[in-house]
Protein backbone atom coordinates (compact mmCIF):
# COMPACT_ATOMS: atom_id res chain seq x y z
CA UNK A 1 0.00 0.00 0.00
CA UNK A 2 2.75 2.42 0.90
CA UNK A 3 4.45 1.75 -2.43
CA UNK A 4 1.25 2.63 -4.31
CA UNK A 5 0.86 5.90 -2.41
CA UNK A 6 4.54 6.71 -2.86
CA UNK A 7 4.25 6.23 -6.64
CA UNK A 8 1.16 8.44 -6.80
CA UNK A 9 2.88 11.15 -4.76
CA UNK A 10 6.00 11.10 -6.96
CA UNK A 11 4.28 11.01 -10.34
CA UNK A 12 4.25 14.15 -12.48
CA UNK A 13 0.87 13.24 -13.99
CA UNK A 14 -1.13 12.69 -10.79
CA UNK A 15 -2.86 15.93 -9.82
CA UNK A 16 -4.52 14.52 -6.70
CA UNK A 17 -5.96 11.32 -5.29
CA UNK A 18 -8.48 10.16 -2.73
CA UNK A 19 -8.48 6.89 -0.82
CA UNK A 20 -12.01 5.52 -1.23
CA UNK A 21 -11.56 2.37 0.82
CA UNK A 22 -8.82 0.76 2.88
CA UNK A 23 -9.01 -2.43 4.86
CA UNK A 24 -6.16 -4.41 6.33
CA UNK A 25 -5.30 -7.26 8.63
CA UNK A 26 -2.17 -9.05 9.72
CA UNK A 27 -1.57 -10.62 6.32
CA UNK A 28 -3.59 -8.63 3.78
CA UNK A 29 -4.73 -5.23 2.62
CA UNK A 30 -7.41 -3.93 0.28
CA UNK A 31 -7.01 -0.49 -1.24
CA UNK A 32 -9.30 1.52 -3.50
CA UNK A 33 -8.21 4.93 -4.84
CA UNK A 34 -9.51 7.53 -7.28
CA UNK A 35 -6.68 9.55 -8.84
CA UNK A 36 -7.15 12.72 -10.90
CA UNK A 37 -4.69 13.01 -13.77
CA UNK A 38 -3.40 16.30 -15.18
CA UNK A 39 -5.35 15.88 -18.45
CA UNK A 40 -8.60 15.69 -16.38
CA UNK A 41 -8.87 11.92 -16.84
CA UNK A 42 -9.19 9.63 -13.82
CA UNK A 43 -7.48 6.43 -12.72
CA UNK A 44 -9.32 4.08 -10.39
CA UNK A 45 -7.01 1.74 -8.51
CA UNK A 46 -8.11 -1.41 -6.73
CA UNK A 47 -5.59 -3.76 -5.13
CA UNK A 48 -5.97 -6.75 -2.84
CA UNK A 49 -2.67 -8.06 -1.52
CA UNK A 50 -2.09 -11.01 0.80
CA UNK A 51 0.62 -13.58 1.30
CA UNK A 52 -0.91 -15.74 -1.44
CA UNK A 53 -2.71 -13.29 -3.72
CA UNK A 54 -2.26 -10.09 -5.64
CA UNK A 55 -5.49 -9.04 -7.33
CA UNK A 56 -5.73 -5.75 -9.14
CA UNK A 57 -7.83 -3.58 -11.39
CA UNK A 58 -6.61 -0.27 -12.81
CA UNK A 59 -9.35 1.60 -14.67
CA UNK A 60 -8.36 4.68 -16.69
CA UNK A 61 -11.19 6.81 -18.01
CA UNK A 62 -11.49 10.15 -19.75
CA UNK A 63 -13.03 13.27 -18.19
CA UNK A 64 -16.49 12.20 -19.44
CA UNK A 65 -16.26 8.77 -17.80
CA UNK A 66 -15.52 6.83 -20.98
CA UNK A 67 -13.16 3.89 -20.62
CA UNK A 68 -9.68 4.41 -22.03
CA UNK A 69 -8.13 1.19 -20.70
CA UNK A 70 -8.76 -1.18 -17.82
CA UNK A 71 -6.06 -3.58 -16.71
CA UNK A 72 -6.84 -6.50 -14.41
CA UNK A 73 -5.92 -10.04 -13.52
CA UNK A 74 -9.34 -11.62 -13.09
CA UNK A 75 -8.82 -15.28 -14.02
CA UNK A 76 -10.59 -15.45 -17.36
CA UNK A 77 -9.36 -15.17 -20.99
CA UNK A 78 -7.17 -18.24 -20.57
CA UNK A 79 -6.23 -18.10 -24.26
CA UNK A 80 -4.02 -15.04 -23.72
CA UNK A 81 -0.26 -15.54 -23.35
CA UNK A 82 -0.22 -13.15 -20.38
CA UNK A 83 -3.06 -14.95 -18.55
CA UNK A 84 -4.42 -13.91 -16.12
CA UNK A 85 -3.12 -10.40 -16.92
CA UNK A 86 -5.09 -8.60 -19.61
CA UNK A 87 -6.43 -5.20 -20.61
CA UNK A 88 -9.74 -3.94 -21.94
CA UNK A 89 -9.61 -1.31 -24.67
CA UNK A 90 -13.14 -0.58 -25.81
CA UNK A 91 -14.61 -4.03 -26.46
CA UNK A 92 -11.21 -5.59 -27.18
CA UNK A 93 -9.46 -7.87 -24.68
CA UNK A 94 -5.69 -7.83 -25.15
CA UNK A 95 -2.59 -9.31 -23.56
CA UNK A 96 -1.02 -7.05 -20.97
CA UNK A 97 2.55 -6.70 -19.78
CA UNK A 98 1.45 -3.90 -17.41
CA UNK A 99 0.76 -5.69 -14.12
CA UNK A 100 1.43 -3.16 -11.37
CA UNK A 101 0.54 0.41 -10.49
CA UNK A 102 4.11 1.38 -11.37
CA UNK A 103 3.66 -0.07 -14.88
CA UNK A 104 0.33 1.73 -15.29
CA UNK A 105 1.67 5.11 -14.22
CA UNK A 106 4.62 4.73 -16.60
CA UNK A 107 2.23 3.76 -19.40
CA UNK A 108 -0.01 6.79 -18.83
CA UNK A 109 3.01 9.12 -18.48
CA UNK A 110 4.24 7.90 -21.87
CA UNK A 111 0.80 8.38 -23.44
CA UNK A 112 0.71 11.94 -22.07
CA UNK A 113 4.32 12.63 -23.13
CA UNK A 114 5.74 12.98 -19.58
105 Cβ neighbours under 8 A, 6+ residues apart: 7, 8, 11, 13, 14
Burial of 87 (0-12, 13-18, 19+ CB in 10 A): buried
What does the pLDDT look like over 27-78, one tens digit per residue? 999 999 999 999 999 999 999 999 999 999 999 999 999 999 999 999 999 9
What does the pLDDT look like over 74-110, one tens digit per residue? 999 999 999 999 999 999 999 999 999 999 999 999 9
Check if the beta carbon of residue 55 is closer than 8 Å to that of residue 73.
yes
What is the DSSP secondary-structure string of 54-78? EEEEEEEE-TTS-EEEEEE--S--T
The pTM score is 0.94
**70: domain range?**
2-111
- As for how many domains the chain has, the answer is 1
Calculate the alpha carbon distances from 49 to 7, 61, 99 in Å.
Answer: 17, 24, 13
Amino acid sequence: MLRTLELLNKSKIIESYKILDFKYGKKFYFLKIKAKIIDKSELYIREYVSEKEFLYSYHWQDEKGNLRIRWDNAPHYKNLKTYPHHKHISTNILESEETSIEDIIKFIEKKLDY
